Amino acid sequence: MTTAPYDDSPPRHALTVLGAGVMGVGITVLALGHGLPVHLVDIDRERLDRAADLIDGELRLAELMGALPAGTALGTLATDTSLKAAAGATAVVEAVTENAAIKAAVLSEVSGLVRPGTVLITNTSSIPVDELAGALERPEELVGTHFMNPPYLIGTAEVVRGARTGDAAMAAVAALLTALRRRAVVVRDAPGFVTSRILHPMINDAARVVEEGTATAEDVDALMQGCLGHPTGPLRTADLIGIDNLVDSLTVLHERTGDDGCRPTELLLRLVREGRLGRKSGRGFYDYT
């Protein structure tokens, strides 16, 4: 680190992360912890300021869990309310609200700012990648990567290749995930891909079971953990995802598959109305305060 007075060589990866919500923060922590510089962008300056604190805390959690490579200096973090930061990125990760119109608008704008050939990665949990690709100047640059929360503790990421995703984008996302020490499993494009298509209706059913009075949230999770080997239980997972995001994602799935099992159950909708969004708000199915 003390060999040269200055270093003009560009970093191998320079990430721009769009959206400073739960996933934007988690992906930023993953990248910083692996030595990559990150430009975190959000339209809300207050949320960016809160995110900087959250990032410090989550970097400590990652360290506590031994999830960061030893001897790697943390990447530098910059925050910005302007998308223009993406112009210098080697890869852009979009992690804004799970709403197709919002994501398409953000991706469209960023597509006009980046250098051609820069991979654009949407962290959507449910929206088909090709549906978003149409908003880009160069649709072949978009690929889906569904990181799980928290990304720095979960070693595998679901990578979604859309109908128009190019080989260069696939190679770029593979190189990025290697630098982040994540295992990539590449799947075809579809609403919810694999993980959300299976997990989200299951969580919806778990909420329905609670709503119908069959069992408490604690007992649902205890049975799914103790009998079926689920690591945390579906309702603790719901609290970790964020109930609002889960409802958005279920709505996307319901609209695109027609599967009635994906229609958000009344209990989930009520929790959102009451501001009980899970861990991030301090309360969801469980109390974290």
- Is residue 146 a contact residue for another protein (CB under 8 A)? no
Cβ 231 to another protein, closest distance in Å?
9
Binding range to another protein, per CB under 8 A, among 16-24, 26-34, 77-85, 225-233:
225-233
Beta bridge partners of 187: 160
- Is residue 216 a contact residue for another protein (CB under 8 A)? no
Number of residues that bind another protein (CB under 8 A): 15
Cβ 239 to another protein, closest distance in Å?
10
- Cβ-defined contacts of 275-280 (< 8 Å, 24+): 276/243, 277/242, 277/243, 277/244, 278/238, 278/239, 278/240, 278/241, 278/242, 278/243, 279/239, 279/240, 279/242, 280/22, 280/242
CA-to-CA dists, residue 108 to 82, 122, 149, 238, 243, angstroms: 14, 12, 26, 30, 27
Choice from 7, 9, 10, 64 touching another protein (CB under 8 A): 64
Cβ 64 to another protein, closest distance in Å?
5
Cβ 113 to another protein, closest distance in Å?
35
Site for another protein in 243-282 (CB under 8 A): 279
Nearer residue to another protein within complex by CB, 169 or 224 = 224
Nearer residue to another protein within complex by CB, 10 or 231 = 231
Q: Which residues are catalytic?
A: 146
Site for another protein in 29-58 (CB under 8 A): 57
Contact between 113 and 83 under an 8 Å Cβ cutoff? The reply is: yes
Q: Which of 72, 122, 95 is nearest to 21 (CA)?
A: 95
Angle, in degrees to the nearest 10, between helices 234-241 and 195-211: 110
Choice from 156, 211, 232, 275 touching another protein (CB under 8 A): 232
What is the C-alpha separation between 89 and 219, in angstroms, rounded? 46
Choice from 112, 117, 155, 226 touching another protein (CB under 8 A): 226
Name the phi and psi angles at 208, rounded to 5: -65, -40
Cβ 224 to another protein, closest distance in Å?
13
- Is residue 65 a contact residue for another protein (CB under 8 A)? yes
Choice from 66, 71, 116, 213 touching another protein (CB under 8 A): 66
Largest CA distance in the chain: 67
Q: Which of 108, 252, 128 is nearest to 120 (CA)?
A: 108
Choice from 99, 108, 195, 225 touching another protein (CB under 8 A): 225
What is the C-alpha separation between 231 and 226, in angstroms, rounded? 9
Residues that bind another protein (CB under 8 A): 57, 60-61, 63-66, 150, 153, 225-226, 232, 236, 240, 279
